[in-house]
Amino acid sequence: MPTKYIFYTGGVVSSVGKGVTAAATGRLLKERGFQVAVQKLDPYINVDPGTMSPYQHGEVYVLDDGAETDLDLGHYERFIDVHLSRVCNMTTGQIYAEVIGKERRGDYLGGTIQVIPHITNEIKKRITAVAKATGAEIVLVEVGGTVGDIESLPFLESLRQLRGDLGRENTLYIHVTWLPYIGATGELKTKPTQHSVAELRSIGINPDMVVARSDYPVDKSIIDKIALFCDVDKRAVVPMVTSQNLYTVPLLLEEKGVAEYILEKMGLQARRKPDWTEWKRLTAQVEKTRPTVRIALVGKYVELHDAYMSVREALKHAALHLGVDVQIDWIHSADLEKGKSLDIVSAADGILVPGGFGSRGIEGKIQAAGIARTGKIPYFGLCLGMQLMVVELTRFALNDESANSTEFDRTTTHPVIDLMPDQHEITDMGGTMRLGLYTCKLVPGTLTQAAYQQEQVEERHRHRFEFNNAYREKLAEAGLRIAGLSPDGRLVEIVELADHPFMVGTQFHPEFLSRPNRPHPLFKAFLQAACDRAKIETHPLTANQVPVKDKN
């Protein structure tokens, strides 16, 4: 079958939920036996989000191949349970870098380089490259931003051209919009949706489906109105009311017959009946009243929860599988330095210190690790959180407050975390960290190995600094156990503390591989330890209730 393409655009407001809609429709198609991949087109001129502040952009999501990508790729991977590739995130920066590089080499043989066709051709080339790179039969393509933005015009023009290039039956356009609610009259308004569809049509794209997001129930008259004014079938106007639990979205779209409509339009037949048993069981857990376990997440960008999207989701996955509810107390690490929020952290059932860069708030995170160590509170350190757990222990064990990571103090007497040797010569900041999947050998007899039940694992990385091997012995005496190492034994990947219920730090980011149907073993073990501390009885889903690993 020819590769099929579904294009997602957004209207009215940003953050309207295009990413989740694309991810959820991807799941509907996968449930019907199709190989699916999703690609995000980001209109900004950065080559990738790797060098952007999380305040600007939210989390940087890392793929197996080390690509630093938009956080929507996290939604795609979690909903569809796929491993995506570098080609699945394209930015304006990448397109221009490529085209200008070719121009400098003389590849265009004297031509004038223009947005159409040179930029649009490069965009189209990268869209059609996804199927080959991922083996997908249906490629979903989400355009970042909102229709009407200047920056996304070349992307939209490329999508318009693709209908002609690839054929009407092989392309489908889905426009995701927002229905504002006027409190005074108690009405949902369709006018912004009409205008945004009109804008899209002026570019030459007639959407085949309109997904209308709303905080309030959408009645039939609204659907009829959108169908009439936007020239789409009534069946293709899909109201999507805000849900507290993201993972209900595929079920919602299933109920509205979205997959049937898509398949019909593209001349496809489902290969199997979707089986939502496990998915329903998981989402049903959310509806249940469950005991609450409290986790203090001590970070630097806590005002913006999107900066820790995968960590939050991984905690939720583990909680669903243990039959508990997780409440995250978002703690600003700089507050701890001022003596604020210490009571919340000390009273938490578990403390999690996620990844991060730069010196702001570092001492607060070290304090959090100290509270966890001395109070025997379960602690989970991810990347920077692992490094600071080591710094805290060193300060205590060697009785020297100046121990540090050289990221924060170049002249420290105890550089217990130091730049990796191959990082010394690097001057470019973009895409030059130790990135992506690396193997880690687990040490038998450790908490970590008991959690994973495997001899070795592969996890995703994003760091420049590492544990300084000169401190292995000294810290072993203080109770630090190395629980995971690179296959050559050189890089410390996981540490844990002896005589502590659960104090584990990973140099990698386990949060990127957690899935709603397959929570990450370390997140599960951490949350179990937190529940034990809070004397909360867990009800783990039994083996036959847990979906098996699903390969796409």
Tell me the CA distances in angstroms from 204 to 163, 166, 173, 523, one per residue in order: 10, 16, 11, 47
Shortest approach of ligand GLN to residue 97 CB, angstroms? 24
Q: How many residues bind ligand GLN (CB under 6 A)?
A: 10
Shortest approach of ligand GLN to residue 357 CB, angstroms? 4
Q: Which of 122, 392, 496, 511 is catalytic?
A: 511
Give the burial class of 23: count Cβ atoms within 10 A of its Cβ; 0-12 exposed, 13-18 middle, 19 or more buried.
buried
Contact between 44 and ligand GLN (CB under 6 A)?
no
In terms of phi and psi (left: phi > 0; alpha: psi -120 to 50; beta: otherwise), the region of 511 is alpha
Tell me the CA distances in angstroms from 142 to 26, 88, 216, one per residue in order: 12, 10, 25
Q: Judged by CB, which is closer to ligand GLN: 9, or 69?
A: 69
Catalytic residue check, 509: yes
Both tokens of 361, joined, read: 């708030």
Shortest approach of ligand GLN to residue 139 CB, angstroms? 30
The Cα angle at residue 270 between residues 266 and 274, in degrees rounded to 5: 130
Contact between 383 and ligand GLN (CB under 6 A)?
yes
Q: Judged by CB, which is closer to ligand GLN: 356, or 415?
A: 356
Question: In the stretch 343-382, what mask flags binding to ligand GLN with x, by CB under 6 A?
Answer: ------------xxx-------------------------
Q: Judged by CB, which is closer to ligand GLN: 276, or 357?
A: 357
Shortest approach of ligand GLN to residue 365 CB, angstroms? 11
Contact between 407 and ligand GLN (CB under 6 A)?
yes
Shortest approach of ligand GLN to residue 464 CB, angstroms? 4
Q: Judged by CB, which is closer to ligand GLN: 57, or 463?
A: 463
Q: Judged by CB, which is closer to ligand GLN: 270, or 420?
A: 420
d(CA 344, CA 334): 14
Shortest approach of ligand GLN to residue 301 CB, angstroms? 12
d(CA 552, CA 138): 12
Shortest approach of ligand GLN to residue 429 CB, angstroms? 11
What DSSP element (H or E) covers 543? none
Catalytic residue check, 383: yes
d(CA 188, CA 226): 12
d(CA 212, CA 238): 6
Shortest approach of ligand GLN to residue 551 CB, angstroms? 28
Shortest approach of ligand GLN to residue 67 CB, angstroms? 15
Contact between 384 and ligand GLN (CB under 6 A)?
yes
Question: In the stretch 467-496, what mask flags binding to ligand GLN with x, by CB under 6 A?
Answer: ------------------------------
Q: Judged by CB, which is closer to ligand GLN: 355, or 521?
A: 355
Q: Judged by CB, which is closer to ligand GLN: 246, or 383?
A: 383
β-pairing, 68-69 vs 209-214, is unpaired
Q: Judged by CB, which is closer to ligand GLN: 32, or 463?
A: 463
- HSE, CB side, 13 Å, CA atoms: give it for residue 82: 26
Show Cβ contacts of residue 24 under 8 Å, excluding neighbours closer than 6 positions: 79, 249, 250, 252, 253
Catalytic residue check, 332: no
Place of tokens 């978002």: 330
Both tokens of 278, joined, read: 């496990």
Q: Which of 383, 392, 493, 531 is catalytic?
A: 383
d(CA 123, CA 41): 9
d(CA 81, CA 74): 10
In terms of phi and psi (left: phi > 0; alpha: psi -120 to 50; beta: otherwise), the region of 445 is left
Give the burial class of 142: count Cβ atoms within 10 A of its Cβ; 0-12 exposed, 13-18 middle, 19 or more buried.
buried
Give the burial class of 523: count Cβ atoms within 10 A of its Cβ; 0-12 exposed, 13-18 middle, 19 or more buried.
buried
Q: Judged by CB, which is closer to ligand GLN: 18, or 462?
A: 462
Show Cβ contacts of residue 338 under 8 Å, excluding neighbours closer than 6 positions: none
β-pairing, 36-42 vs 138-143, is parallel
- What are the phi and psi torsion angles at 237 (to 5°)? -100, 115
Three-state secondary structure call for residue 198? helix
CB atoms within 10 A of CB 391: 25
Contact between 415 and ligand GLN (CB under 6 A)?
no
Question: In the stretch 447-466, what mask flags binding to ligand GLN with x, by CB under 6 A?
Answer: ---------------xxxx-
Q: Which of 59, 509, 520, 531 is catalytic?
A: 509
Closest CB to ligand GLN belongs to which residue? 355
Catalytic positions are: 383, 509, 511
The residues of the shown chain that bind ligand GLN, judged by CB under 6 A, are 355-357, 383-384, 407, 462-465
